[in-house]
């Protein structure tokens, strides 16, 4: 999978994505390129933004500059159609299902805005002509899309075959625990324990020491349901 980040701050990448399992496979199972929006500036001062029509605070990135930058990013994909994503708090809320879907693509182009925003016309154009999707990672506002892009990249890479040590792992952590009768429900992860068996007066739950795998599986699902019910009842449809 080839990921191209379109940003005013290419030096932020790969950043934390160069570490741990994603970092080990960077250049092998996946690759990262950046396009610097500033290189497509249309003036000698390298400016990319201007004041908003209608007035108000902040600056707006010009449509022609974003268009040129996205067009340049597309050149990295001569043989396939990448998913194109605009990171914005106005986007559709990101979740594990979106991550699984994006991981099916051989390529992603991720546009990271800054300042007050990007001229709406270039966004409309890329939604209409290139099927661009707008994604938000939560109900809060960041200074720019770069951290959000890293969030969606990390979660997508968990679904790219070969990046996790254990192929079962992306399904078996935090979300999508298989229910006992086989139907898939999104639950928060059950608690994990390791040695020592007793620490600071806290003991590992005895069922985990029993060696009874059926009982252990049942206990874990019960714990996951209980935690989900109390912290995220919305995941259970309540
Ligand atoms: Cl994707 N971008 C920005 N700037 N803020 C956000 C966000 C994205 N998602 C939540 N807040």
Ligand 1 midpoint to CA 182 (Å) = 36
Q: Is the CB of 88 under 6 A from ligand 1?
A: yes
Q: How far apart are CA 151 and CA 99, in angstroms?
A: 10
Q: Which of 42-46, 91-95, 177-181 has the lowest mean pLDDT?
A: 177-181
pLDDT tens sequence across 97-117 = 999 999 999 999 999 998 789
Count of alpha carbons within 13 Å of 120, Cβ hemisphere only?
A: 3
Confidence category of residue 237, pLDDT binned at 50, 70, 90:
confident
Ligand 1 midpoint to CA 114 (Å) = 10
Q: Is the CB of 117 under 6 A from ligand 1?
A: no
Ligand 1 midpoint to CA 24 (Å) = 27
Query: Would you list the domain boundaries of the chain?
Result: 2-157, 172-236
**Shortest-distance Cα residue to atom 7 of ligand 1:** 89
- In CATH terms, 172-236 corresponds, of 1.20.1740.10, 1.10.3720.10, 1.10.1270.20, 3.10.105.10, to 1.10.1270.20
Q: Is the CB of 147 under 6 A from ligand 1?
A: no
Ligand 1 midpoint to CA 110 (Å) = 13
Strands across the sheet containing 60-61: 49-50, 60-61, 117-118
**Shortest-distance Cα residue to atom 8 of ligand 1:** 88
Mean local confidence (pLDDT), 54-70: 97
pTM recorded for the entire structure: 0.93
Contact 114, 5 (CB under 8 A): no
Q: Which of 59-63, 183-187, 230-234 has the lowest mean pLDDT?
A: 183-187
Mean pLDDT, rounded, of the chain: 93
Ligand 1 midpoint to CA 139 (Å) = 8
Contact 159, 101 (CB under 8 A): no
pLDDT at 149 over 90: yes
CB neighbourhood size of 89 (10 A):
17
- Ligand 1, atom nearest to 142 Cα: 5
pLDDT tens sequence across 161-203 = 999 876 555 655 556 555 545 656 679 999 999 999 999 999 9
- Ligand 1, atom nearest to 91 Cα: 1
Q: In terms of CATH architecture, what is 2-157?
A: 3-Layer(aba) Sandwich (3.40)
Higher-pLDDT residue of 208 and 238 is 208
């Amino acid at each position: 999978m080839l990921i191209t980040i379109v940003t005013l701050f290419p030096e932020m990448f790969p950043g934390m994505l160069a570490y741990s399992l994603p970092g080990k496979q960077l250049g092998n199972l996946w690759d990262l390129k950046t396009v610097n929006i500033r290189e497509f500036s249309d003036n000698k001062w390298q400016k990319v933004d201007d004041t908003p029509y209608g007035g108000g605070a902040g600056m707006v990135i010009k449509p022609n500059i974003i268009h040129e930058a996205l067009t340049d990013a597309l050149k990295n994909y001569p043989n396939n159609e990448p998913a194109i994503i605009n990171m914005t708090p106005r986007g559709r809320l990101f979740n594990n299902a979106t991550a699984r879907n994006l991981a099916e693509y051989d390529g992603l182009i991720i546009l990271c805005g800054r300042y007050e925003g990007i001229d709406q016309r270039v966004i409309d154009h890329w939604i209409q002509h290139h099927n661009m999707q707008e994604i938000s990672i939560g109900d809060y506002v960041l200074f720019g899309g770069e951290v959000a892009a890293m969030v969606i990249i990390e979660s997508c890479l968990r679904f790219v075959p070969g990046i996790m040590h254990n192929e079962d792992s992306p399904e078996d952590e935090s979300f999508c625990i298989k229910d006992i009768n086989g139907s898939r429900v999104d639950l928060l992860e059950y608690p994990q324990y390791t040695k020592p068996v007793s620490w600071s007066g806290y003991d590992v739950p005895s069922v985990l020491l029993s060696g009874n795998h059926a009982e252990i599986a049942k206990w874990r699902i019960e714990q996951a349901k209980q935690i989900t019910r109390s912290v995220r009842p919305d995941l259970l449809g309540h």
